[in-house]
Amino acid sequence: MRMYDIIEHKKKGMALSPEEIHFVVEGYTKGEIPDYQVSALLMAIYFKGMTLEETATLTMEMAQSGDMIDLSPIEGIKVDKHSTGGVGDKTTIVLAPLVAAVGGKVAKMSGRGLGHTGGTIDKLEAFEGFKVEIPEEDFFKQVNEHHIAVVGQSGELAPADKKLYALRDVTATVDNMSLIASSIMSKKIASGADAICLDVKCGTGAFMKTLADAKALAGAMVDIGNHVGRHTMAIVSDMNQPLGYAVGNALEIIEAIETLKGNGPADLTELTMTLASHMLVLGKVCDTLETARQKVQEVINNGKAIEKLQEWIKLQGGNPAAVLDYSLMPQAQYSKEVVLSQAGYVSAIDAESVGKSALVLGAGRETKESEIDLAVGIVIHKKIGDYIESNDSVATIYYNDLAKCEAAEKILKEAYKVSDEKVQSNTLIYDIIGA
């Protein structure tokens, strides 16, 4: 087999055979095929597309290029949840205890944040002593006995994707649906879940800016998952403004705790209840979405959800007292209110800018090596559709460095658009695919 012929086939719009895809992924991962030939193939894929069979084959080849996590020591159906990334997205921290408290099993590997979106693992480290690396046997035992464990990614998951993604990044071939869908799904499949619940974000703070693109990506990922035997469904949800009000690690943890106590923001509460209900049905813990939702509401009302959070934090070495006493969380030294000059209805909040504002404060990572400040961040007070008087605070900035606060404030002020006309609040869930 020759790489030249494979490029030629795709250039002519032909579907690649499983053998050809295997040849490319294996050869490129081993360093036997040069970047320039794979770049040419990626560009041909970009223009000619891939069929579902080709996309599913590429996904499995990339998944199998590294460690395939075997979750079989955990009894029952393991359901994973994956968000394509947003600002203020703390859903995992809420829904993991919700699902576990109802009887589902959450065995999750999560990532750290990079750029304007945060990572679950960083947020969890706001609990003093919380261990994100635990030996595999302890991880299995914890999930079997307590139904919940969330750890950082270990081992080498889908190294072929890592290499191909880096090449796509410099050859203008990232934004192809088949390539994005196979990239995300290869890592999910290598992580070992039996069923996958996807939260595809759509809007200014998301990777997919339009609803059409978000739906197409969700559909492509659902098709791949189901094609390779992993029951997969997707929710397409709004990211045209931050989810909830808090952006920044410890601040987001506090908001997640409040949500588990039943006092959370409406959007975060609704999204986590919906995702948790789908996970419980996918995991066959509940027969219907209605029953699942009722049980989720029950564990919030009777305190079992918050107890599960405390149990989980303790199991992973963190201080569960922080769940009831927020002074035990990392605290920023200073705070500042952000006031806009104009009164009116909030018509837009550029979520990506809010994420960037938190990033410049130190809540996120500019590069993989950056140290993050767990205490700093932003709590917005006004969301789309809310009315603001000219002297109302639209947000509070929690900071440790005045220069950073000033830079963050400038970005934040520009993120808000105000209108004289009344504005409708945003739709939260646009679509549910494959349920």
Instruction: Enumerate the active-site residues.
Output: 82, 161, 168, 183, 187
For the beta sheet containing 429-433, the strands, ordered from the edge strand earlier in sequence to the opposite edge, are 79-83, 195-202, 231-238, 429-433
- Residue 165 CB, shortest distance to ligand URA, in Å, is 6
* Strands 195-202 vs 231-238: parallel, antiparallel or unpaired: parallel
- The verdict on 115 binding ligand URA (CB under 6 A) reads no
Which span (43-51, 69-77, 148-156, 179-187) binds ligand URA, by CB under 6 A? 179-187
| Alpha-carbon distances of 378 from 70, 92, 157, rounded to whole Å | 39, 20, 33
Distance CA 106, CA 79 (A): 7
Distance CA 130, CA 218 (A): 33
- The verdict on 55 binding ligand URA (CB under 6 A) reads no
Residue 165 vs 430, nearer CB to ligand URA: 165
- The verdict on 183 binding ligand URA (CB under 6 A) reads yes
- Residue 85 CB, shortest distance to ligand URA, in Å, is 8
Which span (69-77, 175-183, 313-321, 327-335) binds ligand URA, by CB under 6 A? 175-183
Whose tokens are 């990777």? That residue is 207
Distance CA 134, CA 345 (A): 48
In 84-158, where does DSSP find H-type helix? 91-102, 120-124, 136-146
- The verdict on 180 binding ligand URA (CB under 6 A) reads yes
**Token pair belonging to 396:** 């509070």
- The verdict on 207 binding ligand URA (CB under 6 A) reads yes
Q: Which residue is nearest to ligand URA (CB)?
A: 183
**Torsion angle of the four alpha carbons 202, 207, 212, 215, in this order, in degrees rounded to the nearest 10:** -70
Residue 181 vs 412, nearer CB to ligand URA: 181
- Residue 187 CB, shortest distance to ligand URA, in Å, is 6
Coil, strand, or helix at residue 259?
helix
- List the one residue from 58, 74, 184, 408 that touches ligand URA (CB under 6 A): 184
- Residue 123 CB, shortest distance to ligand URA, in Å, is 19
Distance CA 138, CA 145 (A): 10
198 pairs with which residues across the strands?
82, 234
Residue 100 vs 206, nearer CB to ligand URA: 206
- Residue 426 CB, shortest distance to ligand URA, in Å, is 23
Burial label for 96, CB within 10 Å (0-12, 13-18, 19+), is buried
- Residue 186 CB, shortest distance to ligand URA, in Å, is 8
Kind and range of the H or E run holding 81? strand 79-83
- List the one residue from 71, 165, 213, 344 that touches ligand URA (CB under 6 A): 165
Residue 106 vs 184, nearer CB to ligand URA: 184
Q: How many residues bind ligand URA (CB under 6 A)?
A: 7
Report the interface residues with ligand URA, using CB under 6 A: 165, 174, 179-180, 183-184, 207
